[in-house]
Amino acid sequence: MLVDVGGRPPYPSDLSDEAWELIRPVITGWKARHPSVSGHEGRYEMREIVNAILYQACTGCQWRYLPHDLPPMGAVYYYFGTTTGLDPGKKSSGRKRGLATDVLGLVIAVVVAASVHDNAIGIALLDEVAHSASTVTKAWVDAGFKSAVVDHGKGLGVDVEIIQREPGARGFAPEPKRWVVEQTLGTLMLHRRLVRDFETKPPSSVAMIDWSMTDVMLHRLTRATPTWRDPPAWQSAPRPVGAWRRELMDKIDTRQQFLGETAEWLRDQITGLTEQLAAAEDTLRRLEITRETILELAAEDSCPLKVWLIDSITCRNGLNRYAPARSASP
């Protein structure tokens, strides 16, 4: 569950309480082993430092574009560089990323190198695997690796098998077992910082992959595993069944109240229209009686109405018989 941290609204990339409890012993232990030479303890919480690193990994923004409510770029990059042991280096084009994962797709080793053959990356990966996971005895690699990697694996006690593409296969075809690595790469690409190699130094690139994989593992341990088809977990956090039932009953009650008010309004409208219709019928009835009376009176010769009509027509024609006669001109 995402909560407000440091008095600010949470970002989707922030660590949940459960995720922070999992990673906190590792972070605090590392900080205790790497005290500042000046004795300064730091003014920013390590949880916020990690939140800033994950924000940059997920959004792909530049370091200087970190939001102002997160720790400043200098503090964040200090811890990012210190945890990875950055050394001076130059920017290299055409760098390759080499990953070694277990059968679950969890990263065991990462190698980033420029202008080298795949065999050099494979040998370096085997060395990393032998150092960090000595129980590994079997490895599947793609056809880009040659016999030099197989021979180096034998020296480390690792049986390296090259997975060849099926004869006659066309287009995209997932290769058994080795496809787990490709799946991991696709999952890591959900962190936009890894879509392109923006890092100036290879150790920084390795560190960004490590932090992104840490984020993936924390999500798997504390939340539902997201896919590109599903909304992020922070948008659809699971709720207890009781909460869903209460929310559903509230919606039903609100709907029934709305329908009742609408029915009452319709009844009032029908009643008003009925009264107006009755009044209109009564008015028409009176008008019909008045019309018949006028026609009966007009049929009589001595009817004043008939005389008035004749006088009106005469006046309209300029022959008003009641007008005084004009005197003759001298």
Angle, helices 46-59 vs 73-84, to 10°: value is 90
Chain segment 229-260, per-residue pLDDT in tens:
555 555 555 556 667 778 888 888 888 888 88
Q: Is residue 112 very low, low, confident or very high in pLDDT (cuts 50, 70, 90)? A: confident
Contact by Cβ (8 Å): 48, 67:
no
> Residue 329: pLDDT band by 50, 70, 90 thresholds?
very low
Q: What's the pLDDT at 53?
A: 92
pTM of the model: 0.54
Strand partners, 112: 97
What is the chain's mean pLDDT, rounded? Answer: 78
Give Cβ neighbours of residue 109 (< 8 Å, ≥ 6 apart): 98, 99, 100, 125, 128, 129, 132, 133
pLDDT tens-digit readout, 192-224: 888 877 887 888 888 899 999 999 898 888 875
Q: Are 12 and 54 in contact (CB under 8 A)?
A: no
pLDDT for 323 beyond 50: no
Q: How, if at all, do strands 159-162 and 107-114 pair?
A: unpaired
